[in-house]
Amino acid sequence: MIESYDIRLAAVSDARRIAEMSKNLIELGLGWSWTEERVIRNMRDKDTNVVVACDGAHLIGFGITKYRINEAHIVLFAVEKSRQRNGVGTALIKWIEKTALVAGIGIVYLEARLRNSAAREFYRALGYKEFLVEPRRYRGVETGVRLGKDLWEDAVAS
């Protein structure tokens, strides 16, 4: 399938869809914490950006990233089920990585559930390395894995 979509910064009108995708694709079984209001708060935070992939008016993927002085932290990330395995996630991660590098930030961190083998495989394919297993990372009940990537290492190598 040939994907057709644009990548852009999110608007407040995207927040409800992002929150619904978080509930159904990311926070499943953990309780819903990324409500529409929380997504909007993050959009308005000057150290956070929310990027979306849209096919026309339809939002098919998003990423929420917090930027610190030396590192970026991807806190929420998903692609609609029917559009997975078509490179949308990769394109969003590349956008986030490029944005970080342009801002002089070379390290990207994120977390995944240990049992989320699809996400772990996705990040591994993009060069992220697992460096810490955290028991009870999610709501005190589920084990998580921390991953990171050194963008400068990659930039120098290429």
Check binding of 54 to ligand COA (CB under 6 A). Answer: no
Q: Which two tokens stand for residue 60?
A: 């098919």
Q: Which of residues 15-34 bind ligand COA (CB under 6 A)?
A: 25-26
Q: Residue 10: which of 45, 53, 47, 41 has the closest Cα?
A: 53
Question: What whole-number distance in Å separates Cα of residue 78 and Cα of residue 152?
Answer: 25
Q: Can you tell me which of 59, 122, 137, 149 binds ligand COA, judged by CB under 6 A?
A: 122
Stretch that binds ligand COA, among 8-16, 37-45, 113-121, 150-158 (CB under 6 A): 113-121
Residue with tokens 């490179």, as numbered in its chain = 87
Q: For residue 94, which amino acid is it?
A: K
Is there binding between residue 119 and ligand COA (CB under 6 A)?
yes
Identify whether the C-beta of residue 123 lies closer than 8 Å to the C-beta of residue 111. Answer: no
CB of 93 to ligand COA, least distance (A): 8
Q: Does 144 bind ligand COA (CB under 6 A)?
A: no
> Which span (38-46, 65-73, 87-95, 130-138) binds ligand COA, by CB under 6 A?
87-95
Report CA Rg, the chain.
15
User: Does residue 90 interact with ligand COA by CB under 6 A?
Assistant: yes
Cβ atoms 149, 108 nearer than 8 A: yes
Q: Which residues bind ligand COA (CB under 6 A)?
A: 25-26, 77-79, 84-90, 112, 116, 118-119, 121-122, 125
